[in-house]
Amino acid sequence: MLRAEAEHISFPATVCQKLTEVDSECKLRPFYEKHVAGDVTADALGEGWKAFVVRISGGNDKQGICMKQGVLTHGHVLLLLREKDTPGLTDTTVPHNSEEKTD
């Protein structure tokens, strides 16, 4: 028995988000076995999604393991990154602007 899945769809240009409940596994099949940053037609989500193409930007697999871009294996892997291992990646910190943007 399939539990209701939720597809979180966002449009970064307008910062709008939509949460769509999916109750049939047939609607989710086009999204299975896809890589992060892969484009998928959204026709399977319903009549309102015809002619839309969505890009996979993240998610979890059935075991709850997060997807990570750049890991091109079909199984689970353990990434061993420690501080200062990779210059420019693990030895620097990028400050995040936590203030809200106003127009």
The token duo for 24 is 């049939």
User: What pLDDT does 24 receive?
Assistant: 84
The tens digit of pLDDT for each residue in 12-24 reads 888 888 888 888 8
* In a domain? residue 44: yes
Number of domains in the chain: 1
Domain coverage including residue 17: 1-95
Answer yes or no: are the C-beta atoms of 17 and 8 closer than 8 Å: yes
User: What pLDDT does 1 receive?
Assistant: 45
* In a domain? residue 28: yes
Q: What are 54-57's contacts with CB under 8 Å, separation 24+?
A: 54/9, 56/31
Alpha carbon distance 47, 75 (integer Å):
34
User: What pLDDT does 101 receive?
Assistant: 66
Alpha carbon distance 11, 27 (integer Å):
20
Q: What one-letter code names the amino acid at 42?
A: A
* In a domain? residue 101: no
* In a domain? residue 45: yes
| pTM recorded for the entire structure | 0.56
